[in-house]
């Protein structure tokens, strides 16, 4: 047997063994066949096996194969190992559509149609944005990621005001494979069969696409047509699968890498083996989930269990395959617009402190009212925004990667994991211990994600490793939420990026840390100027390893401090440096200072909007920041 066959056999054997353990608890093995084919109506166990146990296995196999095939087609069409169904925004769009219409009482086929429409709408929006940039692979990936973040923030906002429906939304959006009949199985099997045959008919086109645009065009292929055909097939397959089983991440990303790692090199071999590995991976994961005495969604477990494999595969990457460009860059060199940046930052702080909304309408707060609770919250938000923005600017300058930011490479998730671990080990630990735990988690994540930067690793490797860390974090959070542990009630608000618990001492700490971090970062201006130049930096006498270590340590501390005060933040560390570049801040020193002002203003404004937009209800600042940052990024892409 070939390594590919052996690995597939091992996957299915392990899954089958675990299935036997759970099935035996319900029925003796001798009754399995009759329960599958013709269960006696009087035998409750046989009926449960027929309508719940066996359909769940079939759905896991079909959904795993479909998601894996979708991920492979996306990776071929975009020539990008980061591509998977969530890259195009399919999953996030489907979940958002369900969050919008689900509370109205939709169910069954209507719910599936709504999820499908949301997924396809997100795909269309992503492609429309990418078309403005010539349908370049990097543009499509960036547009999909930005759209996914924005849709996730909108879903979180909706869920905050539908508490009675939040658990069912969480279970569905996390990919629950629970079944009550065979309808989902029949739909998925038919969908997989048609899509697999269509992909087989496109082997030659996909082979040309693997040669990249120049090679495909030289051999008579039309790269744009091939890319659009592949994207349409993959997006439709992913959208319909998501409509049936919810959002399941990782499988579409990991299965193609797994197939290549065990020897499937040609396009035809990868199209054959990737769906098989995807089916085995999801079935095995689901069987492992059923052994846990918790109502844990299978989609959440795929991130927790599959992240180590994903990160191990990403660590072996050496060939550059994606050139990332900044989201926005000024058309010509110009001086930094310091006046506008300072005015915007001061205006954001002033509005957050003075303007308020009460039951009687809009009014201006008195000095005593402002200092009562607005000053700590606003300063905490401003300081956290500064810290994350400076961390993002440091990472982008150090790596030369415009997509590097604390959230994109897993540093924020690492800090959050450190905090959660400390919460369970020592719930009464003080702020100092929390900062140390978060800093260690952020540092480990940063070192892991960026370990190949100095050795010629491709630019997407840190992002792929960051996806692995973020997937592990999502899995841990899902596991803890499903456990019903009362300590998670305290963590839920913090996880959404809230300033609710910010007091004067925390605000002072984050302001001091952010200001000190900015000063330390400015001292690294010369190394940051040289680090992206690779060998040139060494020939200039720079101690590259030492400079990288200092940069990583500083960005980790800043991220941990911001996470401690507000929680994990998305978009601020990614968007603020790009906005600073658009304002003319090109040198390392001006980029750091401009990013700090923009990041602080963005999060202070987000905290104020969260307080007044839906008064008397409050929305976490992190959710508003994701919406604002997502909107800004989408506008930049549309131009």
Q: For position 135, what pLDDT does the model report?
A: 61
Q: What is the dihedral sign for C-alpha 284, 286, 291, 292? A: positive
Reported residue count of the chain is 639
Domain chopping of the chain, boundaries: 3-26+44-313, 377-638
| pLDDT tens-digit readout, 189-237 | 999 999 999 999 888 888 887 666 666 666 666 777 887 888 888 888 8
**Is it true that domain 377-638 has CATH number 1.10.3470.10?**
yes
pLDDT score of 230? 85
DSSP 305-371: HHHHHHHHHHHT--S-------S---SS-----HHHHHHHHHHHHHHHHHEEEETTEEEE--HHHII
Shared fold status for 3-26+44-313 and 377-638: yes
Query: Phi and psi for 363 in degrees, rounded to 5?
Result: -155, 170
Contact between residue 66 and residue 195 where contact means Cβ atoms under 8 Å apart:
yes
Pick the CATH number of 3-26+44-313 from 3.40.190.10, 1.10.3470.10, 3.40.120.10, 3.40.50.10860: 1.10.3470.10
Mean pLDDT per block of 10 residues along the chain (639 residues) reads 87 94 89 89 90 94 95 83 76 81 60 77 80 64 75 76 62 77 91 93 81 64 78 85 82 86 87 94 90 75 68 58 44 72 89 82 76 82 92 86 76 81 77 79 78 58 70 71 65 72 83 93 87 66 78 87 80 85 88 93 90 81 80 70
Integer Cα distance of 586 and 333 in angstroms? 8
Q: Which two tokens stand for residue 464?
A: 């792929």
**Residue partners of 303: CB distance under 8 A and separation at least 6:** 249, 250, 470, 471, 472, 474, 475, 478
- The number of beta carbons lying within 10 Å of the beta carbon of residue 387 is 37
pLDDT in tens, 479-537: 766 666 666 666 666 777 778 777 788 888 899 999 999 999 999 888 888 777 666 66
Note whether 98 and 114 are within 8 A (CB).
yes
């Amino acid at each position: 047997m070939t390594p590919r066959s052996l690995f597939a056999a091992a996957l299915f054997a392990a899954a089958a063994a675990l299935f036997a353990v759970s099935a035996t608890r319900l029925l003796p093995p001798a009754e399995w066949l009759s329960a599958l084919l013709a269960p006696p109506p009087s035998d409750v166990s046989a009926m449960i096996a027929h309508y719940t146990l066996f359909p769940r296995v079939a759905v896991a196999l079909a959904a795993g194969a479909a998601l894996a095939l979708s991920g492979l087609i996306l990776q071929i069409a975009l020539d990008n190992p980061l591509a998977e169904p969530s890259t195009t925004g399919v999953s996030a769009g489907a979940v958002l559509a369900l969050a919008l219409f689900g509370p109205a009482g939709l169910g069954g086929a209507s719910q599936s149609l709504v999820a499908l429409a949301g997924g396809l709408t997100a795909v269309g929006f992503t492609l429309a944005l990418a078309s403005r940039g010539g349908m370049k692979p990097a543009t499509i990936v960036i547009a999909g990621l930005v759209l996914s973040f924005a849709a996730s923030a909108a879903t979180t906002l909706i869920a905050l005001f539908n508490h009675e429906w939040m658990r069912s939304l969480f279970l569905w959006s996390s990919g629950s494979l629970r079944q009550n009949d065979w309808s989902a199985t029949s739909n998925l099997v038919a969908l997989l069969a048609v899509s697999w045959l269509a992909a087989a008919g496109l082997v030659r086109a996909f082979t040309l696409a693997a040669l990249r645009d120049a090679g495909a065009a030289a051999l008579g292929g039309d790269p744009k047509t091939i890319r659009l055909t592949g994207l349409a097939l993959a997006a439709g397959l992913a959208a319909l699968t998501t409509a049936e089983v919810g959002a399941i991440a990782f499988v579409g990303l990991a299965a193609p890498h797994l197939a290549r790692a065990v020897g499937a090199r040609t396009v035809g071999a990868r199209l054959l083996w990737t769906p098989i590995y995807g089916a085995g991976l999801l079935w095995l994961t689901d069987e492992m989930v059923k052994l846990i005495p918790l109502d844990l969604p299978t989609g959440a477990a795929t991130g927790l269990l599959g992240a180590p494999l994903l990160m191990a595969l990403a660590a072996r990457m050496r060939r550059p395959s994606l050139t990332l460009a900044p989201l926005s860059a000024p058309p010509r060199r110009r001086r930094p617009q310091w006046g506008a940046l300072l005015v915007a930052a001061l205006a954001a702080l002033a509005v957050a402190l003075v303007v308020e909304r009460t039951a009687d309408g809009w009014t201006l707060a008195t000095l005593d009212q402002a200092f009562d609770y607005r000053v700590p919250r606003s300063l905490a938000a401003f300081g956290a925004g500064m810290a994350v923005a400076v961390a993002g600017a440091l990472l982008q300058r150090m790596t030369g990667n415009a997509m590097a930011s604390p959230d994109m490479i897993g540093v924020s998730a690492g800090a959050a994991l450190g905090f959660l671990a400390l919460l369970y080990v020592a719930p009464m630990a003080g702020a100092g211990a929390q900062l140390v735990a978060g800093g260690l988690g952020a540092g480990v994540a940063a070192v892991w994600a960026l370990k190949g930067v100095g050795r010629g690793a491709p630019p997407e490797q840190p992002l792929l490793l960051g996806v692995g860390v973020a997937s592990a974090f999502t899995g841990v959070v899902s596991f803890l939420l499903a456990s019903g542990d009362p300590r998670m009630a305290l963590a839920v608000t913090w996880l959404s990026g809230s300033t609710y618990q910010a007091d004067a001492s925390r605000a002072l700490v984050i302001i001091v840390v952010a200001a000190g971090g900015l000063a330390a970062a400015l001292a690294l201006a010369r190394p940051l100027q040289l680090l992206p130049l690779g060998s040139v930096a060494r020939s200039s006498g720079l101690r590259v390893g030492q400079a990288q270590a200092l940069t990583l340590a500083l960005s980790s501390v800043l991220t941990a401090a911001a996470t401690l005060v507000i929680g994990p933040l998305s978009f601020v560390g990614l968007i603020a440096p790009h906005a600073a570049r658009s304002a003319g801040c090109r040198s390392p020193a001006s980029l750091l200072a401009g990013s700090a002002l923009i990041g602080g203003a963005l999060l202070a404004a987000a905290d104020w909007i969260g307080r007044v937009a839906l008064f008397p209800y409050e929305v976490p600042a992190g959710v508003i920041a994701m919406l604002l940052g997502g909107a800004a990024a989408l506008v930049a892409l549309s131009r």
